[in-house]
Amino acid sequence: MRYELYYWPGIQGRGEFVRLALEAAGARYADVARLSQRDGGGTQALMRLMEDDSVKRKPFAPPYLKAGKLIIGQTANILLFLGPRLGLAPDDEAGRLWAHQLQLTITDLVAEVHETHHPIAASLYFEQQRPEARRRARHFLDERIPRYLGYFEQVLADNPRGKGHLVGKALSYVDLSVFQVIAGLRYAFPNTMRQVEPEYPRLVALHEMVSMQPKLAAYLASKRRIAFNQSGIFRHYPELEA
């Protein structure tokens, strides 16, 4: 199967959680909107399908994945679908539900990260909601980071088949997603992370382990990995840490 990922071409964003799974598994895929317009790419490719009257199960927003005739939206849903196919999820139903449950908790965290710079409206610029963003970010850093990172640290400690994986005894899409969260938080809130990371040694080790997977290491060093930037979900505004 050759997959087609549809996502904004200039950012990691939510699409990155899917890219990491495809890359870690060495899957064949096209990152459609990043192709040249001549090759059917560009942002137009993203919008074309969402406005196509013949598509009866339209996604609400990118990212979405084409797999043959299937069109699948919502990041966690895409990973629910891809996980078993890419060898990145447990075999049993209980294990798959648990992996998905953790992914949905990551989804919540990612949404809260976005809210730190857009607490009033996604349609406004950061500069139009600065005082609110500072206030929200303070609460996020003081209350929510410890709550989420403490939770995932505990999940790592509690995994009976353990050895550094969140779910089961092998690499899963949940490990990849938590890697991405740690990388993103380090980019967005470097001072905070430097300060709190010693409290989460298992998460730090997980980030390191994932980054050293050969296929992942090759991806991260390639041009396919878009750099973090000020249009994505994880953004570095120093004033939000002040």
Rule CB under 8 A: is residue 207 a binding residue for a copy of itself? no
Nearer to a copy of itself, 119 or 184 (CB): 119
Residue keyed to tokens 């990041």: 75
Choice from 30, 48, 66, 74 touching a copy of itself (CB under 8 A): 74
Nearer to a copy of itself, 38 or 57 (CB): 57
Asked whether the beta carbons of 88 and 172 are under 8 A apart, the reply is yes
Choice from 30, 40, 81, 187 touching a copy of itself (CB under 8 A): 81
Choice from 126, 159, 186, 241 touching a copy of itself (CB under 8 A): 159
Q: Which of 140, 141, 164 is nearest to 153 (CA)?
A: 164
Residue keyed to tokens 């500069």: 127
Site for a copy of itself in 34-73 (CB under 8 A): 56-60, 70, 72-73
Name the minimum Å distance from CB 183 to a copy of itself. Answer: 21
Give every CB contact of residue 33 below 8 A, 6+ residues apart in sequence: 6, 7, 8, 9, 41, 42, 43, 45, 46
Site for a copy of itself in 93-152 (CB under 8 A): 94, 97-98, 100-101, 104-105, 107-108, 111, 115, 119-121, 123-124, 132, 135-136, 139-140, 143, 151
The Cα 160–Cα 155 span in angstroms is 10
Name the minimum Å distance from CB 96 to a copy of itself. Answer: 10
- Cα 221 vs. chain centroid, distance in angstroms? 18
Nearer to a copy of itself, 70 or 170 (CB): 70
Give every CB contact of residue 188 below 8 A, 6+ residues apart in sequence: 113, 116, 228, 234, 235, 236, 240
Torsion of CA 59, 5, 174, 16, to 10 degrees: -100
- Which positions touch a copy of itself (CB under 8 A)? 56-60, 70, 72-74, 76-77, 80-81, 94, 97-98, 100-101, 104-105, 107-108, 111, 115, 119-121, 123-124, 132, 135-136, 139-140, 143, 151, 154-155, 158-160
